[in-house]
Structure 1
Amino acid sequence: MDGPPFEYGEYEEGKDVNYWRLNPALQAAAGRVYPDEEFEWAAERLEEFGGVVGHTIADNADLIDEHGPELRTYDRHGDLLNEVRYYPKQFENEELIYERGILADAFEPPPGREEPLGLVHTLTMQLLLSYADTGLVCSQSMTVGAALVLRNHDHGNHYEEYFEGLTAREYDDVIEGGMFLTEEQGGSDVGAAETTAEPVGVPREATSSATEEATGRDDEGTAATDEEGRGVHGDGGVIAPEDPIETRTYELTGEKWFCSNIDAQGTLALGRRPGAPEGTKGLSLFLVPHELPSGELNPQIYRRLKDKLGTESVPTGEVEFDGTTGYLVGEPERGFKYMTTMLNWERVTNSVGAVGIIGRLLLESKIHAANREAFGQPIGEFPLLQRDLVEMAVTHEATLSFAMEAARWFDRYERDHGDDRAFRLMRLLVPVSKHVTTRAAVDTASYAMEIQGGNGYVREFVTHRLYRDVQALPIWEGTANILSLDVLRAMETERAHEALIPLVEGYLDDVEHPLLEEQATTVREEFRALQEALVALGSGDGDYAQHEAKEVTEYIYDVLTAVLLLSRAQRSLAEDSDAREAVVARLFIEETFSDRDARGVTTGEALPMEYFDAVVRYDEVDPNRLAESPSG
């Protein structure tokens, strides 16, 4: 089958297919956010990668889920081993993704190019990989995150060898990254971390003096200025001041509670040096390798692996530091600021990963609906299920549009740390996207299981695994409440909403097609209301702002997503005379913003059924046909 409209009855299940080829919405979204010349080069590679994921990696992922990693902390003589054993198919999957440049392409020119690709390319590949294995995305993404931290904050290139391993293309040269952030007593309160870091070979008094010199704090640990430690833009920055530290080697003592990719060679962890203040302002960042340069194991104890609900392909466990070697990254007491580089990256990854899972769930549901018969006909011909599939497809394209927009601004900021607009939009859109897309993925997984019936609840069917895996996404790198509070901080400290307003206005100004006029009017009214809500939030007290933070976060998502869908509909109408995207935009806007009498039941409209082939099978829509619809 060459292309849309797709006949899903030709497939038995949602693998042994090409995920890129079966997702025209992703192709169009990538084309919008990549720089033009980069997308022209990347499109062929993405199609090839979509086939590899849809065939080999998807098959392997099912087997890996049945044979999760096993930990041997000690050998038979009682000596420390810290060995994680993997099912062999794990190594095959890793080689397939790393040697296709999912990581390296963003840091070094791939074969056939003179320049690296942006991180939006890595994120698009991660989205495709999420169709098959969320756990594999996790380990690969933390490797990229660790590389970003070293690239941005390892002033003086102290750890060039680690950076080269984290960004290697040849699988035998790759070392993976990790992030040991959470401690049992702190959870989301990172500032409550109790891990200590003692300098090796430096008197305590010298370290305390160096702390004051490097951070501008007095003996009480008070910040010299409000902007202390915030670098260029408050996320760790890229400033490289003089380095007064007498040693970069420390011994760490403490416990880390939820450590994914536990045996990574390029792990980053937070600890507190002697004399450093309490809270996040006193944390420094350390590179903690699995093996020391001598080849000996780093003296840490991998206590146990977590018995998780899902994401079996990435080992998550508890780590005990006991004189463990850690190498100071960047300046002391700026560790949390540096770590936000990785946190923001991981949140974008969670978001595109959620969209990838929604895409796989939607594909499985379409195929099942086309093949499963009940009462003498395929269940996909029943109006109720048609409506469900259309709504699922609209959710997919809505979350896809927003997640790729967040990816675009993250990528743009990483290309140019002096781009203030990109920084502000990245800071706002990333937590919004992570919150809404991951929750949408959980809801979609639940209903996709229902579409499969009893089989959806059985381990041998992939919806069972996707449902287990997707539950991690709203938790990793910040729950809904933490993300909503971060949206507040982005608006309060970086004035991020001031960059959002012209972004929305710019997209809306380009929407001028008559078929979109009614929906554009609705969205303009909601945009004005959103601005009023932001003013109310800023003028209220702190408790009120926290109370409404999640509501505002989701309101930002709804308005910007509607604008993005209208923008792509405008382009499709203007360039291709195709009204399919206009149908999707209309469905999203009516569902999100319309206050219809009797919930719309009395209108006589059945748009999801009328445009089922267009939305679900990617068929084209004649603009004249949409114009004749009741609300056209």
Structure 2
Amino acid sequence: MGFAQDPPQLAHPYRDDRVLHAMLERALPPARRGALDPDLQALGDYAQAAWQRAGRTTRRKPVLTQWDAWGNRVDRIELTEAWQEGPRIATAHAVLASGHEAGEHARLEEFARVYLYHVASEFYTCPLAMTDGAATALKASGNRMLMERALPRLLSRDAATFWLSGQWMTENAGGSDVGRTETAARQDAAGQWRLYGRKWFSSAVVGEAALGLARPEGAGPGTGALALFYVETMDGARRRPELVIDRLKDKLGTHELPTAEIHLHGLPAWPLGELANGVRQVAPMLNVTRTWNAVCAVASMARAISLARDYATRRSAFGRPLVELPLHAHTLADMQAEFEGAFALAFEVAHLLGRVEQGDAAAHEAALLRLLTPLAKLWTGKLAVKLCSEALECFGGAGYIEDTGLPQLLRDAQVYAIWEGTTNVLSLDSLRALAGDGLAALRTASEGWLEGGDDAAASDTIRQALDAAARWLDRHGAARDMLEAGARGLAFTLARCAAAALLARQATWAGARGDRRPAAALRRFVGHGLDRLVSPAADDTALLLG
């Protein structure tokens, strides 16, 4: 019989994740840590079982049936097994509801659950993120009627009463340019608002509710005239006839997630607040969904690295296991260091979100959250693609074979850089976050994270990179075109500086307990460089595009 290769085995996503354990031990009071543990154990068990199940079955895409046998429009979507299990898993373990409890650690605990559940959920976390964002926007609106109607459902811990909410923003004419929204809101004879138009990208179409942007009848053009509306999509067990699903999109990745193009033909709707400034009302939702995006990107990195590391102990080449080959081991260590930096930044944003929401934040932390949220989302989105690609390469040809389940990691990773704002959109958003006090909040936070650290060289490198970023801003601040052209390099630099300072904090904490691995991650991460600043030449840009 010929050679047969052992496939990679997935280490337990919770019990064997030292980075997650160390963060939780450092950040959470012991009582909260103990209360959280059963949910994390269960979600880790589910994730490991889901990986094993995926190896035995052919992954399916959702199927849309638009008409029944008798000519009735039904728009019924058949979901994958993981999606059918989603309401039970998410509510039983408070994957979403826990983030809306009292206490500054609520969001941190929520996103620890999200991190463990995400990959196994087959992107059921996408509508969960939309639902979390909708609940947050409803709370911020102060609309008591809608809050009393929707929040008990959106935050339910019972699958029988749980509702998903979509987020309907994107249209054919404009993605990030929401000012070109064409969906119209009109009042009927009874005074009920109704929506008319087409939404081009609806990732939670199987839900029971949604928040969507529309232009009230008679309102002027532009973004400021848009209003934010709440809608319900179901009439009992039947989809409302005013909501028509045109088709499901055939995407590069996230195949199990039913992403739809829809038409609205007078769907009943309720404004969250004033009939204007809807984009401003969306802002609380985006802070939440972008944090979900960052944590889910980090979860995909963790899965890819875990499998690659295990495979390196099973696959032999040139007479030795891969893990014993110096260059392969060096590559895996590089991946691990970058992952630990991304993990530290994503979970700091999660913790900051909870502190700000609960009113427990220090004076500089609201501004810090405003800056780090787009930075974490854009950097982790790009890094997930890079690390998942590198992980597939660690498997050689097997990484390119569909039925190993590995290519799915790379295809899915590409979405993180696109959803909730592309890299360029968020780079420009980070410039807006710096418009007030510049780097003051990040400098204040970084000094706190570096305090008491043992690695003076790393601390100096972080401070020098922040100084370089400040000089770059001073040099280009008056030249808007140059500032925007270099915004991506600035964003990556600031994200890496923040991640490095957070790694330094973790290394100090772990070193006092005899664990030298976070210090090694810090050294290697800083060794990869922090400064990504560029000053693009406008003439060269014009020539290259001419």
Report the CA distance shift for 1:61/1:371 in structure 2 as closer, same or farther (over 3 A): closer
Aligned counterpart in structure 2 of residue 450 of structure 1, from 393, 418, 422: 393
1:504-523 equivalent positions in 2, closer than 5 A: 504-511=446-453, 513=454, 516-523=455-462
Q: What's the Cα RMSD here?
A: 2.4
Q: Which amino acid aligns with 2:493?
A: Y
Aligned to 1:625: none
Aligned counterpart in structure 2 of residue 370 of structure 1, from 286, 304, 313: 313
Find the structure with the greater CA-based Rg. 1
2:104·2:358 contact (CA, 8 Å) conserved in 1? no
Matching of residue 67 in structure 1 with residue 55 in structure 2? no
Matching of residue 566 in structure 1 with residue 509 in structure 2? no
1:358·1:445 contact (CA, 8 Å) conserved in 2? yes
Q: Which amino acid aligns with 2:466?
A: F
1:467-546 equivalent positions in 2, closer than 5 A: 467-492=410-435, 494-495=436-437, 497-511=439-453, 513=454, 516-537=455-476, 539-546=477-484
Which deviates further from its counterpart, 556-565 or 69-78?
A: 69-78
1:64·1:312 contact (CA, 8 Å) conserved in 2? no
1:64·1:313 contact (CA, 8 Å) conserved in 2? no
Task: Quote the offset at 1:64 in angstroms.
Answer: 8.2
2:130·2:167 contact (CA, 8 Å) conserved in 1? yes
Aligned to 1:628: none
Whole-angstrom distance in 1 between the partners of 2:53 and 2:365 = 38
Structure-1-length-normalised TM-score = 0.79
Residues 302-350 of structure 1: per-residue CA shift (max 9 Å, x gap): 0000011221222001011111212211222132112122222111111
Q: Which amino acid aligns with 2:504?
A: L
1:54-93 equivalent positions in 2, closer than 5 A: 54-55=48-49, 57-60=50-53, 66-93=59-86
Aligned to 2:538: none
Whole-angstrom distance in 2 between the partners of 1:420 and 1:571 = 24
Task: Quote the offset at 1:594 in angstroms.
Answer: 9.5
Residues 118-175 of structure 1: per-residue CA shift (max 9 Å, x gap): 1222211111123434512212221212221222214223342322111111111111
Residues 513-544 of structure 1: per-residue CA shift (max 9 Å, x gap): 2xx1222222222232222223334x322111
Whole-angstrom distance in 2 between the partners of 1:282 and 1:419 = 35
Matching of residue 548 in structure 1 with residue 486 in structure 2? yes
Structure 1 residue matching 2:171: 3-state secondary structure = coil
Whole-angstrom distance in 2 between the partners of 1:191 and 1:63 = 47
Aligned to 2:17: 23
Task: Quote the offset at 1:39 in angstroms.
Answer: 3.0
Whole-angstrom distance in 2 between the partners of 1:309 and 1:462 = 15
Residues 180-229 of structure 1: per-residue CA shift (max 9 Å, x gap): 11001112101110111002336xxxxxxxxxxxxxxxxxxxxxxxxxxx
Q: Which amino acid aligns with 1:535?
A: D
Task: Quote the offset at 1:96 in angstroms.
Answer: 2.0
Which deviates further from its counterpart, 429-438 or 561-570?
A: 561-570
Report the CA distance shift for 1:424/1:104 in structure 2 as closer, same or farther (over 3 A): same
Task: Quote the offset at 1:570 in angstroms.
Answer: 1.6
1:410·1:426 contact (CA, 8 Å) conserved in 2? yes
Q: Which amino acid aligns with 2:64?
A: L
Aligned counterpart in structure 1 of residue 282 of structure 2, from 335, 339, 346: 339
1:58·1:133 contact (CA, 8 Å) conserved in 2? no
Report the CA distance shift for 1:60/1:116 in structure 2 as closer, same or farther (over 3 A): farther
Whole-angstrom distance in 2 between the partners of 1:419 and 1:119 = 17
Q: Which amino acid aligns with 2:326?
A: P
Report the CA distance shift for 1:422/1:14 in structure 2 as closer, same or farther (over 3 A): farther
Task: Quote the offset at 1:14 in angstroms.
Answer: 3.8
Aligned counterpart in structure 1 of residue 521 of structure 2, from 581, 584, 592: 584
Report the CA distance shift for 1:580/1:296 in structure 2 as closer, same or farther (over 3 A): closer
Q: Which amino acid aligns with 1:54?
A: Q
Residues 484-523 of structure 1: per-residue CA shift (max 9 Å, x gap): 010011112x546332121112222332x2xx12222222
Matching of residue 106 in structure 1 with residue 99 in structure 2? yes
Residues 327-386 of structure 1: per-residue CA shift (max 9 Å, x gap): 211222132112122222111111111111111100110111100011222111101101
Report the CA distance shift for 1:171/1:129 in structure 2 as closer, same or farther (over 3 A): same
2:183·2:196 contact (CA, 8 Å) conserved in 1? yes
1:428·1:497 contact (CA, 8 Å) conserved in 2? no
Structure 1 residue matching 2:402: 3-state secondary structure = coil
Aligned counterpart in structure 1 of residue 219 of structure 2, from 257, 273, 276: 276
Report the CA distance shift for 1:85/1:62 in structure 2 as closer, same or farther (over 3 A): farther
Report the CA distance shift for 1:42/1:326 in structure 2 as closer, same or farther (over 3 A): same
Task: Quote the offset at 1:117 in angstroms.
Answer: 6.0
Count of residues in correspondence between the two structures: 527
